[in-house]
């Protein structure tokens, strides 16, 4: 039984409250994003599905494709984060993965029993799942096809980093550069998440707006790490936006199954010849730092940036640092 089922909201709230008080707080540098062109979300055909995407910036600029992680909709790439990227001279694309938000929900597919899936995998038994990370990577390529983009800089976080790696493996000619953030290689012997992070992530889905917001704030207080405060107002706004766009707990289970059932990418990553940046926080409780170290170790020429105080989140105090790393890497790749 997962630890998640042993802990209720009250226990998780207590755990979050016992976390040492954040000691790092600093304002974002002022940036005028008022002139950034933003196109309202559109639905495009991709890999046989309907994928919802949105763009920021001038389509004549070099494209950056942003891929979000498990259970997260594209709005988890904060509007301001995307605009700040675009103002640097990039055409920024974000989209909902399959089974989340306003992209196709795989409602006809079975909901995997994650505990049984983990047990079968540990015993070396074959496992059947509705789809794998490679299928989600083909969704990403389909978004680029639909937008008429031959190649892009690909940036993914957490599960999105796994998908981004798979995009690079499946179609290296379409990836100008790869940035894998707080992710790993899919190898079985990597360190496991801290139990608090697992408990926060895998509790049964709450019901109702207020419960969803409370659970999200509790979760981010754990995933953010010990030293950066959760922006409560921004988090509430983002959570409510995602709530209104549509929640799909069954889809989250299928996405998690895709992570668990997908094979290791280690051998394929060794063969990549794509400019690669690996970003990881030194306080990540969900994907320990070794996941990032291993990714950078396997991909020839990859550069590893370890971000002090960063957990498993993209908090505003780190946006300037993250955007600087991502844009510098992409510009260097473009020559």
Q: Which residues are catalytic?
A: 158, 284, 312
15 burial type by CB count under 10 A (0-12 exposed, 13-18 middle, 19+ buried): middle
d(CA 139, CA 248): 18
10 burial type by CB count under 10 A (0-12 exposed, 13-18 middle, 19+ buried): exposed
d(CA 38, CA 83): 8
d(CA 210, CA 217): 11
What are 324's two structure tokens? 């600087």
CB 159 within 8 A of CB 260: no
Residue carrying structure tokens 């953010």: 224
SS3 at position 31: coil
Q: In what order do the strands lie in the sheet with 38-46?
A: 38-46, 49-56, 91-95, 63-67, 152-157, 175-181, 276-281, 303-307
289-292's contacts with Cβ under 8 Å and 24+ in sequence apart are 290/190, 290/191, 291/182, 291/183, 291/184, 291/185, 291/190, 291/191, 292/180, 292/182, 292/183, 292/184
Find, among 314, 46, 305, 318, the residue nearest to 179 by Cα.
305
């Amino acid at each position: 039984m997962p630890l998640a089922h042993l802990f209720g909201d009250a226990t998780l709230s207590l755990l979050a409250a016992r976390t040492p008080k954040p000691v790092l707080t600093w304002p974002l540098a002022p940036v005028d994003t008022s002139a950034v062109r933003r196109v309202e979300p559109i639905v495009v055909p991709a890999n046989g599905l309907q994928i919802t995407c949105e763009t920021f910036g001038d389509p004549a600029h070099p494209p950056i494709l942003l891929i979000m992680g498990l259970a997260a909709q594209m709005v988890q790439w904060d509007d301001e984060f995307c605009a700040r990227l675009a103002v640097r001279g990039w055409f920024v694309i974000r989209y909902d993965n399959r089974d989340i938000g306003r992209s196709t929900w795989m409602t006809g597919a079975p909901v995997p029993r994650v505990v049984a899936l983990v047990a079968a995998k540990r015993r070396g038994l074959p496992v059947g799942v509705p789809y794998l990370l490679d299928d989600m990577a083909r969704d990403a390529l389909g978004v680029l096809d639909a937008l008429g983009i031959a190649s892009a800089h690909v940036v993914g976080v957490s599960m999105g980093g796994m998908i981004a790696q798979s995009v690079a493996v499946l179609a290296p000619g379409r990836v100008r550069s790869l940035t894998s953030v707080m992710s790993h290689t899919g190898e079985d012997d990597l360190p496991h998440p801290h139990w608090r992070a697992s408990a926060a992530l895998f509790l049964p889905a709450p019901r109702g707006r207020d419960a969803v917001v409370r659970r999200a704030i509790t979760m981010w207080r754990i995933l953010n790490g010990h030293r950066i405060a959760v922006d409560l107002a921004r988090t509430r706004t983002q959570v409510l936006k995602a709530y209104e766009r549509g929640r799909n707990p069954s889809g989250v289970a299928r996405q998690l199954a895709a992570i668990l059932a997908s094979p290791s990418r280690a051998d394929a990553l060794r063969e990549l010849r794509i400019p690669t940046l690996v970003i990881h926080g030194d306080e990540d409780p969900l994907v320990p730092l070794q996941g990032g170290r291993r990714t950078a170790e396997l991909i020839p020429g990859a550069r590893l940036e370890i971000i002090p105080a960063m957990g498993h989140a993209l908090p505003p105090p780190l946006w300037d640092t993250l955007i600087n790393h991502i844009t510098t890497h992409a510009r260097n790749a473009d020559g």
